[in-house]
Amino acid sequence: MSRCSRCGAEVSSDSMYCSECGNTLLKLCYHCGSKIPLSAKFCSNCGTRYEKFEPRYDFKIPLPVEEGNVLTDMRDMQRYNTVKIGNQVWLAENFRFKTADSFIYSANENLLEIYGRLYTWESAKKCAPPGWHLATRKDFNELGLYCKSLNLKGRVGTMLKSTSDVWKTDGVFGPGVPGTDDVGFAAKPFGGRTSAGVFNYLGSFAYFWCAEEQNEERAYYRHLSYFSGAFQELSSKKDCAFSVRLVKDQ
């Protein structure tokens, strides 16, 4: 085991990236300078043996590739649809990059592609590739104001919810309010994971972390529900796990 120079987390010798912060983990051949995985036994470029490699942990995270409305995260080659909403560029789906303290709902791999992963707040703050960031309160406020400026009939939450049938149409809180997805945000009800490790509310609610904390124990998030057109800002314990939407840096 080694430690990442950026965040100090322990990393295994066969890892290419730190699962905590995404930092690239490589060795540097002292002879030719080639970058190679920590687990390599020799340099594939010049043949120098493993014992003479010097560990290096300070290489930059690879830049994502943007082609049209598709973003490719070069750390794991995951591809995401993006959408321009007003002056902002958002991911049009939930983030899926695997980090420490991120989870797939009930460990059901079939849900990963549709809903993404759930992150604790600390993990959510560090998961974005270069050029992108976890949505801030200001980002969400700007998104809401743009939706209102369109002067459509629905409330902001209704405009952000996807039109897919993954949202419940009825439940204990009343009948469903269908989404209209007017700006391409396509929010889906992934629910969340409590601080006790319980997954809940799949199909009913969507929770999106904000980058700001409320205090030492709690952080802000945005909330959508199946029975309402509201897009509320609330707060929760930081060790709960919610969805992540990234915004492109300006």
What ranges do the domains of the chain cover? 2-59, 65-248
- Exposed, middle or buried, 4 (CB in 10 Å: 0-12/13-18/19+)? buried
User: Quick check: 53 pLDDT over 60?
Assistant: no
- From 24-33, 56-65, 132-141, 166-175, the region with the lowest mean pLDDT: 24-33
Which pLDDT belongs to residue 61?
Answer: 72
pLDDT computed for residue 65 by the predictor: 94
pTM of the prediction? 0.78
pLDDT at 105 over 50: yes
Give the per-residue pLDDT at 79: 96
Q: How many helices and strands (H and E) does the chain possess?
A: 4, 21
Is the predicted pLDDT of residue 56 greater than 50, yes or no?
A: no
What DSSP assignment string belongs to 133-178?
EEPPHHHHHHHHHHHHHT--SS-HHHHHB-SSTTS-SEETTEE---
Q: pLDDT tens-digit profile of 125-142?
A: 999 999 999 999 999 999
Percentage with pLDDT > 90 across the chain: 71
Tens digits of residue pLDDT in 66-85:
999 999 999 889 999 999 99
The pLDDT score that the predictor gives to residue 32 is: 56
Residue 18 pLDDT > 80: no
Per residue in 179-233, pLDDT (tens digit) is 999 999 999 999 999 999 999 999 999 999 999 999 999 999 999 999 999 999 9
Q: How far is CA 234 from the centre of its chain?
A: 19
